[in-house]
Structure 1
Amino acid sequence: MKVVKLEDILGTEKEVEGGNWVSRRLISKKDGMGYSVNDTIIRAGTETHIWYQNHLEAVYCIEGHAEVVTLSDNKVHTIKAGTLYALDEHDEHLLRGIEDARMVCVFNPPLSGREIHDENGVYPADLD
């Protein structure tokens, strides 16, 4: 069994700074679970272009307020505590922090742990 405490990740290489967000990598590829789990803060007043061409992601908001705009149809989805959204079709989108928003993010395939978005909003397929 693995027990991970957020307090043990803060300030380590598992806390990844992305400018508009900071992501604490709780479970990564090396843990061998077949998925990864992040505790991520989306900063208020930011907008991030994301297009996970190599990953599927489920995001559960536990604090704050954000918006997701799906670029295929320009639909705006309000995200608040208690809301989950799943990028099940590699959806290209904009993520807007209305307030600081805390999200629990699950990725398949798992992230190695150090990924940041490239110029197209993509995480690389594998950083091993």
Structure 2
Amino acid sequence: MIVKSLEEVKGSNDHVDDQNWESRRFLLKKDGMGFSLHDTIIRAGTESVFWYKYHQEAVYCVEGEGELEDLTNNKTYKIQAGTMYALNGHEKHRLRAKTDMRMVCVFNPPCTGRETHDEEGAYPRPEETTV
């Protein structure tokens, strides 16, 4: 059984802080669950382009407000507390945060823990990362 608190993850090696976001990673590849689980803050007033070419991601917004633009078809969706979106087709997308947004994110295949986005907004291929 794995039990962790947010306070344990904050400031640890499983806490990645970037300019537009920070990700507190509760479950990772090393935990053997087949997915990773992240508590992510998207900072107010930021705009980020993401493209998970090698991962599928599901996101549940628990706090805040913003919008998601699907760059594959130019559709825009309002994201607020209680909204979920899933990138089941590896869609390149832009996330604009009106307020701080707190998101619960699940990745498959699981992240190793130290991933950050490359110039295209992607994480590296899973076989290119180590635990």
Q: TM-score range by the shorter chain?
A: over 0.9
Q: Note if 1:10 corresponds to 2:14.
A: no
1:63-74 equivalences in 2 (<5 Å): 63-74=63-74
Question: What residue is the counterpart of 1:26 in the other structure?
Answer: 26
What is the rounded CA distance, in whole Å, between the counterparts of 1:76 and 1:44 in structure 2? Answer: 18
What is the CA-CA distance between 1:74 and the residue it aligns to? Answer: 1.2
Unaligned ranges ≥5, structure 2: none
Q: TM-score, normalised by structure 2?
A: 0.96
- What do the CA deviations read for 1:67-97 (whole angstroms, capped 9, x no partner)? 1100112111111000000000000000111
Identity of aligned residues (%): 55
What is the rounded CA distance, in whole Å, between the counterparts of 2:4 and 2:82 in structure 1? Answer: 23
Question: What residue is the counterpart of 1:122 in the other structure?
Answer: 122
Greater mean deviation of Cα atoms: 105-114 or 11-20: 11-20
Question: What residue is the counterpart of 2:91 in the other structure?
Answer: 91
Unaligned ranges ≥5, structure 1: none
What is the CA-CA distance between 1:125 and the residue it aligns to? Answer: 1.4
Aligned length: 128
- What do the CA deviations read for 1:42-86 (whole angstroms, capped 9, x no partner)? 001001110000000000000001211001121111110000000
Letter in 2 for 1:33: M
Q: TM-score, normalised by structure 1?
A: 0.98
- What do the CA deviations read for 1:6-40 (whole angstroms, capped 9, x no partner)? 11011111110121000000000000000000000
Question: What residue is the counterpart of 1:53 in the other structure?
Answer: 53
What is the rounded CA distance, in whole Å, between the counterparts of 1:19 and 1:66 in structure 2? Answer: 17
Runs of 4+ aligned structure 1 residues displaced above 4 Å come to none
The alignment yields a C-alpha RMSD, in angstroms, of 0.6
